[in-house]
Amino acid sequence: MISLNSYITNKVKLIEDYMRGLFPEQTEIPNFYDAMKYAIFVGGKRLRPILTFIACELSGGDIRRALPYAAVIEIIHNFTLVHDDIEDGDTVRRSMPAVWVKYGLDNGINIGDGMFSFAIKHLLDCEEYTINEKIKLLSLIINTTLEIFEGQALDMIFRRKDYVTEEEYMRMIQKKTGVLLSAALLGGAIIAKESNERVLKALELYGKYIGPAFQIRDDIIDLTEGKGRGAIGNDIKEGKRSLLVIDLLSKCTSDEKARVIEILNKPREETTDNEVQEVINLMKKYNSIKYAEKRCIELKNKAINALKNIDNNNEYKSLLIQIAEFIVLREK
């Protein structure tokens, strides 16, 4: 059996070496191509390329043919982070200055736009895929990005209103996080010429569930360890309606509710660390962190359950199970 750790180490090197080779070396516009490299190589778990590789191997495909698509997905993921950081006012990403902080807001927007075009151009230009595969992969990618932006639009609406239901929240993070993980997996299967609809459906569902599980775990980490964004409770300052917030608001007294909303709605630079702590204390009092952990585990179980539709009980399926288990346990 392959160890998840060695698989990841090996594949992270593979995709990073490949991606490094894509960008021009010296250009007259360092605020464009060098900035893209900064955005991409400042860190990252490379979860999406790894999912593409696993899905490709699970269906008996050659991993080298999966490389261009995996790179495209990873670049697009990083593009969304570049724009998200501006939209959310986040100044730190992976313990380093966010792209827009390092290069300026104007460049930040343009760098993200460039990454999106650069990624699609690579898919169109690469020699690994047939024209039919290119169209299939592109449709998958573009339907996915559109859904991500729809999710982001929903998120912005939610931040501007006081009450969000758990169902609304789950739909939003599925769009923001789940669909891209599904696309990473489905692309890998398409490249391996997987034709079994049950396998495709299983991979899609798995991504749809681990995406939100990943996000909820991330939101819990933000309250305990911080997300490498310089401080604990960043999401509270940002006014984010996370599952923790939604659960807390559904349980606390109306006075507490008013106070929590007051703190969340404050401009982020006016929210004090004491106020952040106040909200965290209430979350502890009402077991909202425990509730989020429970939901996270439920989603993980659903993801693993979806894999039952994959007959090939091979080592790659086991890697997907291990990844799901890892997501709900990770501390940073």
List the structure tokens of 72. 């495209």
**Does 258 contact its own copies by CB under 8 A?**
no
Q: In the bound complex, what is the minimum distance in angstroms from residue 121's beta carbon to its own copies?
A: 5
Q: In the bound complex, what is the minimum distance in angstroms from residue 264's beta carbon to its own copies?
A: 16
Q: Which of 12, 42, 96, 120 binds its own copies (CB under 8 A)?
A: 120
**Does 114 contact its own copies by CB under 8 A?**
yes
Torsion angles phi and psi, residue 43, rounded to 5:
150, -165
Cβ neighbour number for residue 32 with a 10 Å cutoff: 18
Closest alpha carbon to 62 in 128, 13, 4, 120 = 128
Q: In the bound complex, what is the minimum distance in angstroms from residue 58's beta carbon to its own copies?
A: 27
**Does 325 contact its own copies by CB under 8 A?**
no
**Does 297 contact its own copies by CB under 8 A?**
no
Torsion angles phi and psi, residue 331, rounded to 5:
-105, -10
Residue 291 near residue 249 (C-beta atoms within 8 A) = no
Binding segment toward its own copies, per CB under 8 A, in 133-141, 207-215, 262-270, 281-289: 133-141
Q: How many chain residues bind its own copies (CB under 8 A)?
A: 42
| Per-residue DSSP letter, 226 | -
d(CA 97, CA 78): 14
Which phi-psi region, left, alpha or beta, contains residue 325 (left: φ > 0; alpha: ψ -120 to 50)? alpha
Residue 96 near residue 77 (C-beta atoms within 8 A) = no
For residues 90-108, one letter each, b for 16 or more C-beta atoms within 10 angstroms of the residue's C-beta and e for the rest, the string is: bebbeeebbbbbbbeeebb
Q: Which of 83, 227, 241, 317 binds its own copies (CB under 8 A)?
A: 83
For the residues of 109-144, what is the DSSP string, one character each? HHHHHHHHHHHHHHHHH-SSS-HHHHHHHHHHHHHH
Q: Which of 91, 107, 301, 314 binds its own copies (CB under 8 A)?
A: 107
State the number of CA atoms in the 13 A half-sphere of 327 facing the CB.
29
CB nearer its own copies, residue 236 or residue 248: 236
* Tokens 């007959």 found at: 311
Longest Cα–Cα distance in the chain:
62
Q: In the bound complex, what is the minimum distance in angstroms from residue 27's beta carbon to its own copies?
A: 9
**Does 118 contact its own copies by CB under 8 A?**
yes
Q: In the bound complex, what is the minimum distance in angstroms from residue 112's beta carbon to its own copies?
A: 8
CB nearer its own copies, residue 116 or residue 326: 116
Q: Which of 32, 206, 209, 214 binds its own copies (CB under 8 A)?
A: 32
Binding segment toward its own copies, per CB under 8 A, in 44-52, 123-131, 199-207, 212-220: 123-131
d(CA 273, CA 105): 26
Q: In the bound complex, what is the minimum distance in angstroms from residue 279's beta carbon to its own copies?
A: 22
d(CA 50, CA 84): 23
Q: In the bound complex, what is the minimum distance in angstroms from residue 117's beta carbon to its own copies?
A: 4
State the binding string over 142-181 for its own copies (x if CB under 8 A, else -): xx-xx--xx-xxx-xx------------------------
Binding segment toward its own copies, per CB under 8 A, in 56-64, 109-117, 220-228, 261-269: 109-117
Name the site residues for its own copies (rule: CB under 8 A): 28-29, 31-32, 83, 86-88, 104-107, 109-114, 116-118, 120-121, 124-125, 131-132, 134-135, 138-139, 142-143, 145-146, 149-150, 152-154, 156-157
